[in-house]
A and B are shown apart, each in its own frame.
Chain A
C-alpha cells in the first residue's frame, strides 16, 4: 500500500473515526489529534505491511492514541486520578461502531466544525480536515494559502471549541434550523471558492467545488427532511454542470452567452433538478431559489431563449428572503435581459447610490456592460477599466481589459 492508498482510506473513514473518537473522549481537539496520529502511523507502517481491515486499524490506533493522551493529561493533572479513570477507559475502548449512533455523531461533527464561535476560516479548514478528510497541504492548495496558515486555523479552531465549551451533540431542536444554516454556508463558501476562485490564475477549481458537493450530498443523506440542504445541493450540481463550458482551452473565461451548451454536464443537471424537486416541497428558501435560477438557465437552449422574466421574479423573491447587494446586481443583469439596459442601469445606479458594494469589481463590470450596450462608449470603457483594477482573479481581469480595449 502506498501513500495515496492510505489517503484514500482516510477520505472514506475520517468523519466516522473523528466522530467516534470525539464521542469516546468527549474532547473534539484530542480526538482530532489522535486521529491524525493514527494516519501518520498508517503512512509509515502500511507500505511495509498492509492491514487486513484498514478502517478498523485506523479506528483502533486512533483509540489507543486517544487513551495515551488522556493518560498523559491525567498524569499531569493528578497522578492518582489516572488509577481511578483507567478501568473506565478500558471498558469503552472495546466498543465498536454503532451504526445508528455514528450517523448522528458525523452530523454532530459537522455542527461542531461549523460552530458560530469559530472564525469563517477555521470553520472551512476544520470541515475540510475532519469531515472531508483532507490534509493541511490539500486545504492550503484549495484556498491558495500556506500550510502553516491552515495549521494555525485548525489549531486555533480546536482551542476555541475547547475554550467556549462547545458540547459534542446535535443542537437542540429550537436552534437546529439556524445552526444548519451555518453548516450550509460553510459548504457554500467552499463551493464558491471552486466555482469562482477569488484570486489566482485559474477561474475554476473543480476539485475544490467537488469537496463541497460531496459534503452537501452527505448532509442530504443525514438530513433528508431539510429542504434547504437539497436546495444547496441542487445549486451546486446545477452550477457545476456548466463548468465544462465555462473556460476555453487556454483557461480564459467563457461568458454565459458564448458557452457551448452541449458541453454542459447533462447528468449533473438531472441530479440538480432531482435535488431541486426535493427542495421545493415546502416552498423554496434562499439556496433553493438560487438553484431555481440555475435550473432556468439549464432548461434554456440559448441566452435569447431564456425565461428572463422568471429569473427576475426569482431574484426579487431571493432579495426578499435573503437581502444582498450582489443579488440586487444579479437582478439588474436579469432586468437588462428581460426589459433592456436602460431599466437595468437605473437599478445599478440605485445600488451605487446606496454605496453597499463599493470596492467590488462587480458593480463597474455590470455598469460598464450596460453603458456599452447603450452606446455610451467612453463611460463604458472607464467603468470596465475600473473593474479590471478592482478584480483579483487574473483570468477575469484579462477579459475586462480586452472588452475595455474593444470600446476604443
Chain B
C-alpha cells in the first residue's frame, strides 16, 4: 500500500503566525498525530527548526561545499512532515486537509513508492 509524505511548506507570514500561537499550534499538532496514530496510518512525523539555522551541502563542484543558512531563495520552506500509510491518494489528501497549518502555508502531498516498485 502506498505511503505518502505530507510536506509542510511555510512562508515567512505563516511561520510568524504559527510562532505567535505556538502553544495552541503544538496542542493541535499533537491531537492530529494522535488521530493519525489511532487510525492506524501513522508512520513518522517531525517538525524542523528555523531554516536560518540550517546548513546546505552543495555537490555542484568537485568536492562538496558547505554553506550556512536556508536553501536558495525559496519562498516556501520545508518546515516539517508527516509520513502516513493510507489506502489511497484521496485519503492522503483528506488527511492533508486536516494538517494544522497557519494561513498562507501549503501542504505538499507526495507518494512514496514501495520497495517492490524499484526497477530490478
A interface majority secondary structure: helix
Determine whether the beta carbon of B114 is less than 8 Å from that of A265. Answer: yes
A193-221 contact mask (Cβ, 8 Å, vs B): 1 or 0: 00000000000001100100111111001
Task: Tell me which residues from 29 to 54 in chain B have a Cβ below 8 Å from any Cβ of chain A.
Answer: 37-43
**Interface membership of A249, Cβ < 8 A:** yes
Binds A, one of B11-19, B55-63, B69-77, B91-99: B91-99
**Interface membership of B27, Cβ < 8 A:** no
Quote the shortest CB–CB distance from A12 to chain B (angstroms).
6
**Interface membership of A5, Cβ < 8 A:** yes
Determine whether the beta carbon of A217 is less than 8 Å from that of B91. Answer: no
Nearest B residue to A102, CB-CB: B38
Give every chain A residue within 8 A of B90 (Cβ-Cβ). Answer: 2, 4-5, 7-8
Give every chain A residue within 8 A of B41 (Cβ-Cβ). Answer: 214, 217
Determine whether the beta carbon of B115 is less than 8 Å from that of A210. Answer: no
Q: How far is the CA of A162 from the CA of B6 in the complex (A)?
A: 42
Determine whether the beta carbon of B115 is less than 8 Å from that of A263. Answer: yes
Chain B interface residue count, CB cutoff 8 Å, equals 21
Give every chain B residue within 8 A of A214 (Cβ-Cβ). Answer: 39-41, 85, 87
Quote the shortest CB–CB distance from A19 to chain B (angstroms).
12
Determine whether the beta carbon of A12 is less than 8 Å from that of B85. Answer: no
Contact of B40 among A54, A206, A215 (CB under 8 A): A215
Give every chain B residue within 8 A of A221 (Cβ-Cβ). Answer: 37-38, 40
**Interface membership of A243, Cβ < 8 A:** yes
Determine whether the beta carbon of B115 is less than 8 Å from that of A222. Answer: no
Known: A8-B91, A12-B94. A213 touches B116 (CB 8 A): no
Task: Tell me which residues from 72 to 88 in chain B have a Cβ below 8 Å from any Cβ of chain A.
Answer: 85-88
Determine whether the beta carbon of B88 is less than 8 Å from that of A4. Answer: yes
Determine whether the beta carbon of B88 is less than 8 Å from that of A8. Answer: yes
**Interface membership of A244, Cβ < 8 A:** yes
Quote the shortest CB–CB distance from B113 to chain A (angstroms).
11
Determine whether the beta carbon of A222 is less than 8 Å from that of B39. Answer: no
**Interface membership of A66, Cβ < 8 A:** no
Q: How far is the CA of A266 from the CA of B118 in the complex (A)?
A: 14
**Interface membership of A106, Cβ < 8 A:** yes
Task: Tell me which residues from 152 to 202 in chain A have a Cβ below 8 Å from any Cβ of chain B.
Answer: none
Quote the shortest CB–CB distance from A44 to chain B (angstroms).
18
Q: How far is the CA of A244 from the CA of B118 in the complex (A)?
A: 10
Contact of A217 among B40, B88, B95 (CB under 8 A): B40
Known: A8-B88, A244-B115, A263-B115. A213 touches B40 (CB 8 A): yes
Quote the shortest CB–CB distance from A346 to chain B (angstroms).
39
Give every chain B residue within 8 A of A266 (Cβ-Cβ). Answer: 115
Determine whether the beta carbon of B91 is less than 8 Å from that of A263. Answer: no
Nearest B residue to A9, CB-CB: B94
**Interface membership of A64, Cβ < 8 A:** no
Determine whether the beta carbon of A216 is less than 8 Å from that of B94. Answer: no
Determine whether the beta carbon of A12 is less than 8 Å from that of B91. Answer: yes
Give every chain B residue within 8 A of A215 (Cβ-Cβ). Answer: 40
Determine whether the beta carbon of B120 is less than 8 Å from that of A8. Answer: no
Determine whether the beta carbon of A106 is less than 8 Å from that of B1. Answer: no
Give every chain A residue within 8 A of B39 (Cβ-Cβ). Answer: 12, 214, 218
8 closest cross-chain pairs (CB), A and B: A244-B116, A217-B40, A8-B90, A214-B40, A210-B1, A218-B40, A8-B91, A8-B94
Chain A residues with CB under 8 Å of chain B are 2, 4-5, 7-9, 11-12, 54, 103, 106, 206-207, 210, 213-218, 221-222, 243-244, 249, 263-267, 271
Q: A214-B87, A266-B115, A271-B43 are in contact. List 9 more A-B contacts (CB 8 A).
A: A5-B94, A8-B88, A8-B90, A11-B88, A54-B94, A206-B1, A210-B87, A218-B39, A221-B37
